Every structure is written in structure tokens, then in C-alpha cells.
Amino acid sequence: MKKPGKRPAPSKTRKPAAGPGEVNPFLDLLQQAEPDLLQALEQVIRDGAGFDPRMFDAPDAVELVAEYLDFCEARVAGNDADMEQFEQYPDLVSALSDLQIRANGGDHLAREDIAEINDLLDEAIDGHALQLIDLVFTGKVLSDAGWDIPQNLRQAASKGLREARSGAGGDAPHVPLDELLPLPREIRNNPFELHEFFNSIFAAFTTDAVQVFCVELAAAGKAEVAQAITGFILHPEADVAAAVAGALASSAQARPTESLMIERLVRIRPWLPQNRQSHVDAAIKAMRQNAGPPIKLAQPKLIKCLASVCDGSGTRSLYVSQRRGGAYQFATVMIKTAGIADAIVLSGMTKTDMDLMLRQLKSSVLSIETDLAGIARMLALALGENAASGKLPPFKLVEVVESLGLGPLLPSSDTPADIISSLLEGGHPEETNPAAVARAHKEVAESDFAEQWFEAGEAVEDLLYPVKGHEKRVMKLMKTYLEERRQFWARQCAISALALRGSGQVNLSLSRQLALVGRDIASGAALDKIPLMQHVAQQTVRSFEARL
């Protein structure tokens, strides 16, 4: 394995072969790829689906990126490149994802590795060491790993696409989409998986190029592609969403629209900012004029609902196991402080697979059993966080909500005080009994899940580093940083209490205690008098000092 370092100057990038005819730009892009590249891409998708990075030791991310870029340079130079390099895709994505997680957790070495990788990417991009297909694939790798896409990569890919189209002469023959996307059938026929694939491919391009891709694909006349493109209504860029809505409306005039597409747009609409809803309304109106008959989705049987307790960053997850015929499936949603960040439905599982997953989940994540009403309430609150942060939820949330048989989900703007008030509704002696409230504070601070509650990140490190001595650091954290995070920790208590409330009688006491602690945090009570916040400060400083 080569060590990262200065690489030789790349040869001049080969121009794509010219051909006759104007084609869909996305199809044109893939048409430039050699057959073995497309076969490798198929293998990438097949191997990457369901990949669990915990099954393997994480390889060195910097070395993997350097090897990948060396491979791309060899292709540019016209040398015979080993196509087996593409088989490292799962390792590459896993290593980059793990690196990002460690960097977010305060790992200085991980941050240094990220800086080195960014330097390697800048060198390759600015030095024209990547062909168009390499730029696209690099964008997909970074997107799948949860990294931000460098602007220079987007600019280079979009420029390469413009050059490829102008060099095609306008007469290249149209190639069917299925021939250029040799995807496994389970992805090709699943609009949510297909959307994820398109989204990661488009990550390498600027907004204007993505708009063109989506419009062309929406007009292609393939039902599964149109369903996948519907997900771009939730694209971060409003211009892309508007272009997709317009393309769906235009397409509806030429051919019948599946009723399920309309239902999904209706479901998505409340999740959008108001300035986007008018575009969706126009699309829905046009599509209804030429809609197919309603489709009733078969509803799987509910088995178990679980919710993880919030960790120190505010991240929490919801899990639902279900049975569909003789097979089992597992729906999960990851929620962060900015709202719903990820969603997935794993289907076609055996009972053994399901039981193993549940055991692994319970052993690795502190979670409690809840009910479907609690899941729906927490999803609505999370959608409210999406609305407040301006970050839209993923399209796969639609798949999860459909599998759970939930009705319309409207974003909830309830504050921590609102949630706590609803939890304490009806009154209880503990609410006004000073001794009971004091006992609640003590027991919450000593509970198992509180061990996961601490602060991390560069802001915390910058605050604590100049301060000498453990107790002085704790005091500094309490008086400055944690005071500004009061509402965050009140919400942590409120959401955790809400999850516990749906888990049955056994956790009602702890749920009420969390609500009482959250009420005091939200009310402005002195943080140094609240045992839970003292515990958070101590945990944070201990974690910081362990990393020094």
C-alpha cells in the first residue's frame, strides 16, 4: 500500500469520444464510462447495500484515499489499472465515515487526517488528475461517507460535463437507462434506494447541473425513475426542488401519474418551508388530472417499538420491528439536534436475523420499549427540529412512515416546557414536594443513561484548554458554556421522558423524574444546584482531560 505524499504530475486528461445526437446529460455522462467501470459500479452498489462497518477493522483512511487517487491518475495516464480497486469502496466509505465521527468527537488525529485528505483531493482536482467519471465517483464516495463535497470538485465535474456535451456534436444515440445503470433489481425497483443512488451521483455537480439531470430523468417516462426523482422535492437547494416539481407537472400532461406519487407529495408537503409548498401544490394539481387508480399498500404487522435515550450530542434513534408475511423487517430513524438525519427500512429478514439485530441493539445502545403513538410524537417533534434548523428530512422517511401505517405527520414546534407540561399533566404529589423533587434530581443524575451525557467539540476544547485544574474547568463550563445550552439539556430530559412514558408502567417514575429535572433546567434555576448538570460538567471535563 502506497503512503500518501507527493504524486507525479498527471498526464493530460483524455477527451470523451465524440458521437452524433443530443442526449440526456446524465445518460451521456455514464455513456463515457468503459464497460468494466459500469460493471464495477454495479458491484459497488451491490456490496455497499447493508454494509456494516463494525464488522471490520477500519483501515487507514488517508492511505485508502491516496491509493484511490493513484488509481485514478493511472487511468488518466492510460495505464492498465487494476479494476479490483473498486472493490475497496465499502472500506473507503467506512473509513471516511468513521474518521468524520471521531473528528466530531474531538479526536485531533482524526481532524489532522481529514485535513490531509482534503489536501490530497485538492491536489488531484486542481491538477486535473481526475476524469469526469472519477470526479463523479469521488463525489459519491464522499456523499455516502457523510462528508461535505468540495466546491472545486463540483466545479470541475460540471465543467467536465459541459465539455463532454459540447464535444458530443449533438448527435450521440440515445442509450436506454437500464443499459447504462446495471443496478441490482432490488435497487432499480425501489424508488427510495434509487433516489439515494441518484442523489450520491449528483453530489459531484453544481446545482444547475443537478436541475438538468432531474428534469431529464423525470421526463424519461419510467415509473420507478419518476418515483425516485420525486424525492428531490426535499433537496437542500430550493431551485432543484422547484425544477423537479415543474418537471413532474409537465410529465403528468403526457402520461398517467401513479396515485402513490401524489400521496407521497401530499405527505411531504407539510415538511417543506412555505415558499416551496406552492410549487408542490401546482404539481399535485396537474398530476391529479391524469392520475391512476389508488393503490392500497399492504401493512406489515407491528412487533416492537424502541427508542434510544439521547446521547450527549442530542442524537437519538427510533426502531420498529415488523413482520410482513413470512419475512421480517426493521425500520429505523436517526434524529439529531437539527431534526431527522437518516431513515431506513431493512426488509426481507429472517426471524433469526431480526432477533440478532434486536439483541445487538439492546447490548450496544441504551434503549427503552415504547409504543407507536410515542414513535409518531417523537417523529413530529423531530420534524419540528428540521423546520427550525432549515434542514429537510431524507426522502426515505416516507418509506418508514408508510411501513408504519402512520397518517399525516405535521412538524411540532413544542418547546421543552410544552413537552414537560404535557408529561406532568394531571398533577402528582412529587411536583410540589421539595423532598420528592430533590430525590428526582439525585436519581436522574445517577441513572445509567446519564453516563452518556457530556459535551464535546471544538468549542468546548477551546474554552477548557487555557484553564488549568479540573475544578476550575468544571466551574468555567458551568458558568459560561452550559448556561447557553440550557434549552438543549432541558430538551434532552423532555425527549427522554417522553420515550420512557410510552414504555409502560415500569418506567413511569423515571419519566416523571426526568420531566421534573427538565422543568427546573428550563425554568432558569441555577445550574450548579442541579445534580444532572454538575454530572454533565464533570463528565465533559474528564473526557477532555483524557484526550489531552
Give 323-333 pLDDT, tens digit per residue. Answer: 988 899 999 99
pLDDT digit string, tens, across residues 141-181: 898 888 999 999 999 988 887 777 666 544 433 333 344 34
3-state secondary structure at position 277: helix
Query: What are phi and psi for residue 113, nearest 5 degrees?
Result: -65, -40
Higher pLDDT, residue 25 or 114: 114
Q: For residue 506, what pLDDT is reported?
A: 53
Residue 22 has pLDDT above 50, yes or no: no
User: Of 529, 538, 385, 525, whose CA–CA distance to 455 is shortest?
Assistant: 538
pLDDT digit string, tens, across residues 344-384: 998 888 989 888 888 888 777 777 888 898 899 999 999 99
pLDDT digit string, tens, across residues 503-529: 655 567 888 889 999 999 999 889 989
Q: For residue 186, what pLDDT is reported?
A: 61
Helix axes 531-547, 508-523, angle to 10 degrees: 80
CB neighbour class for 346 (10 Å; exposed up to 12, middle 13-18, buried from 19): middle
Cβ–Cβ < 8 Å for 99, 92: no
Q: Average pLDDT, stretch 212-236? A: 86
Q: In whole angstroms, give the CA distance from residue 155 to residue 161.
A: 10
The rounded mean pLDDT for the chain is 80
Cβ–Cβ < 8 Å for 78, 11: yes
The answer to whether the predicted template modeling score (pTM) of the entire model surpasses 0.75 is: yes
Q: For residue 264, what pLDDT is reported?
A: 94
Higher pLDDT, residue 47 or 264: 264
Confidence tier at 200 by pLDDT (50, 70, 90): confident
Higher pLDDT, residue 500 or 350: 350
Q: Which three cell numbers stand for residue 434?
A: 421539595
User: Of 222, 29, 249, 389, whose CA–CA distance to 241 is shortest?
Assistant: 249
Residue 532 has pLDDT above 70, yes or no: yes
3-state secondary structure at position 475: helix
Q: For residue 32, what pLDDT is reported?
A: 47
Q: For residue 345, what pLDDT is reported?
A: 92
Residue 336 has pLDDT above 60, yes or no: yes
CB neighbour class for 68 (10 Å; exposed up to 12, middle 13-18, buried from 19): buried
Q: For residue 18, what pLDDT is reported?
A: 35
Confidence tier at 23 by pLDDT (50, 70, 90): very low
Higher pLDDT, residue 400 or 369: 400
Q: For residue 77, what pLDDT is reported?
A: 66
Confidence tier at 16 by pLDDT (50, 70, 90): very low
User: Of 539, 517, 540, whose CA–CA distance to 529 is shortest?
Assistant: 517
Share of the chain above pLDDT 90, in %: 37
Residue 58 has pLDDT above 50, yes or no: no
Max distance between CA atoms of the chain, in angstroms, equals: 83
Q: For residue 179, what pLDDT is reported?
A: 40
Per this entry, what is the length of the chain? 548
Q: Average pLDDT, stretch 51-69? A: 67
Q: For residue 20, what pLDDT is reported?
A: 36
Q: For residue 184, what pLDDT is reported?
A: 53
Residue 530 has pLDDT above 90, yes or no: yes
285-289, Cβ contacts within 8 angstroms, sequence gap of 24 or more: 285/249, 286/248, 286/249, 286/250, 286/252, 286/253, 287/248, 287/249, 287/252, 287/257, 287/261, 287/262, 288/257, 288/262, 289/252
Q: Please name the residue that has the C-alpha cell 486542481.
A: 126
Q: For residue 171, what pLDDT is reported?
A: 40
75: enclosing H helix or E strand = helix 61-76
* Domain range list for the chain: 23-190, 206-294, 301-404, 417-547
Q: In whole angstroms, give the CA distance from residue 316 to residue 336.
A: 7
